[in-house]
Amino acid sequence: MTVRVVVGAQFGDEAKGKITDYLAANARYVVRSAGGPNTGHTVHTPEGTVILHQLSCGVLRPHTVGVSGPGMVLQPMKLEDEMHDLEKRGLLRGEVVISDRAHAILPIHEIEDAWEDDLRGKKDPHASLGTTRRGVGPAYADRAGRWGIRMSDLTRPAILRDRLELLYATKTHIPGLPPREELTGQLAEVGSRLAPLIRPTEPIVWDAIARGDNVLLEGAQSALLDVDFGTYPYVTSSHPTSAGALVGSGIPPTEVDEVIGVSKAYTTRVGAGPFPTEDTGEAGEYLRRVGGERGATTGRERRCGWLDLSLLRYVARLNGLTSLAISKVDVLGGLDEVPVCVQYVMPDGSTVRDLLPSQADDLARAQPVYERLPGWPEFHERLKERIRREGARALPTELRRYLGRIASETGVAVEYVGYGPGRDETVRLDIGPNRPSAQGLPAWSG
C-alpha cells in the first residue's frame, strides 16, 4: 500500500497529467485536492489526447476511482460537459466521485474573475495577474468569506436558493451578472443530475488506505503558484503544495509515503509574475516551438527559460520531496550546451540558493548565475525504441549527468524521466542521494 502525492515543482504545466496517468496504472484511487477548471492535465492515451480540467486522471482507467476532492472548486456545468465529452469518446472508464464539500464556481465567479483582473490592469498594467478567468480566485475568496456554495448545496433546492440570495447580495458592484432566479433554476437542475456522484469522499479514501489500496494524490498548478509560498500576488488561490494536497483531500500527514515533484528539464510560466531564468530571445522561442509550449486550458503562449535549481531546491524543502520526475528531456536533445541556474545574485550583492523572497519584485530583480552543462543527442525514434526496450541504461550519458546534477543539487533522487508525450514514454530510474544506482547507472555526481 502506498499513498503518493504528485506536486508541480515549478510554475505549472510540468506534465503532471502525464506522470499521474503513468502512476495511476498501479493506483486504485486518484484524488484531486485543489484547483478547478484553471487546470489542464494533458494525457496521451492510445485512443487520443485528453485534456482533463476538473476530473482526476483516475477516470481514464478501468478499476480506478477518480475523486474530485474537497479542496477543489468545481464549475458544475463544465464538469458535466467534461464527463460527457469523455463518455462520447469512450474514455470515461473509471468511476467518478465528487466531494460534497468542494465549492462550486458559478458563472458569477467567472464574470468577477475577469472584472477583477481588468480592474488590476487598469490601475497598473503590471498588476494584472493574467488569471485563467475561470472564476477560481473569486470562488476561493467566497469559500474563505463563508459566502460560498458547496456541491452538496446544489442538491438541496431550498438551501441553494437561500445561499444564492446571500451571495448575490455581496456582488451588487459587479456588472453583467445573470438574473438570480435563472441561475438558481439552472444550478438546481445540474445539481439533481450530478447528485448520484456527489458524496463525502474522505471516508472513501480513508477506507481505501485502511484496506491497503494504492492512493495517488494528483496535484494541480504548482508549488510556486501557492497562495502563501509562491510568487504572491502572481499566484493561484489554493495550496498546490504537498501539505495542501492533504488539507484538500482530508488525508492525514502520517499516511503519506512518497512526495513526487514534477519538473520540466527547463522552465515555463503562463500568466504574469517573476521568472528569473526566462529567455525572451531566440532560446526562449526555440523552447516554445520545440516544446509546443502553449497553455492547455487557455491556449496562451507560455514564457520559456532554463531550469532553475535555486527554485527547485526551495520547492524540494517546502514539499518534502522524496523523488523527482523530470519531463520533456527530449525537447533539449540536440543542443550543444544546456544552461542551468545554480543560484542568484540579489541587487544588494547577496546570493540566494534555495529561497523564494516574499517580495515578487525582489525575485524579478535577481540575477541568475548559470552553469552550462553538456547537451545530449536528439531523441530520434531509434533512441526512443532502445529506451523502451532496455530502460534507463539507454539514456544518453550526458543526459544522465544532467539528471545526476539535478539530484545532487537538490538532494532529491530523480526517479522518473519523460522523453516524449506518449503513455509509454516515461522511464523509471534511480539517480540520486542515498539511492543504490539502479540498472547500472552511474552514481550521481557533478
Residue ranges in contact with Mg ion by CB under 5 A: 13, 40, 296
User: Which of Mg ion, ligand IMP, none sits in contact with 311, Cβ below 5 to 8 A by type?
Assistant: none
Looking at beta carbons only, is 40 or 191 nearer to Mg ion? 40
Query: What is the smallest separation between the CB atom of 195 and ligand IMP, expressed in angstroms?
Result: 28
DSSP string covering 165-218: HHHHHT-TTSTTPPPHHHHHHHHHHHHHHHGGGEE--HHHHHHHHHHT--EEEE
Please report where in the chains the cell 502572481 appears, as a residue: 234
Q: Does residue 42 belong to the site contacting ligand IMP (CB under 6 A)?
A: no
Q: Is there a catalytic annotation at residue 162?
A: no
263: contact with ligand IMP by CB under 6 A: no
Q: Is residue 129 part of the contact set for ligand IMP (CB under 6 A)? A: yes
Examine the residue annotation and report whether 173 is marked as an active-site residue of this protein: no
Whole-angstrom Cα distance, residue 263 to residue 430?
Answer: 16
Site for ligand IMP (CB under 6 A): which residue of 24, 136, 392, 406?
A: 136
CA gyration radius, the chain: 22
Residue 241 binding ligand IMP, by CB under 6 A: no
Instruction: Report the nearest approach of ligand IMP to the CB of residue 89 (Å).
Output: 22
Taking residue 384's Cβ as centre, other Cβ atoms within 10 Å add up to: 18
Site for ligand IMP contains 248 (CB under 6 A): no
Phi, psi for 302 (deg, rounded to 5): -90, 145
Choose between 127 and 346: whose C-beta lies nearer to ligand IMP. Answer: 127
Interacting residue with ligand IMP among 102, 139, 270, 403 (CB under 6 A): 270
Give the nearer residue to Mg ion in terms of CB position, either 31 or 149.
Answer: 31
d(CA 227, CA 74): 18
Q: Does 130 bind ligand IMP (CB under 6 A)?
A: yes
User: What does 59 bind: Mg ion, ligand IMP, none (CB cut-off 5 to 8 Å by kind)?
Assistant: none
| Smallest distance from ligand IMP to CB 5, Å | 17
Beta bridge partners of residue 324, listed in sequence order: 261, 414
76 touches ligand IMP by CB under 6 A: no
- DSSP-derived secondary structure for 48-110: EEEEESSS-GGGGSTT-EEEE-TTBEE-HHHHHHHHHHHHHTT---SEEEEESSSEEP-HHHH
Q: Catalytic site residues?
A: 13, 41
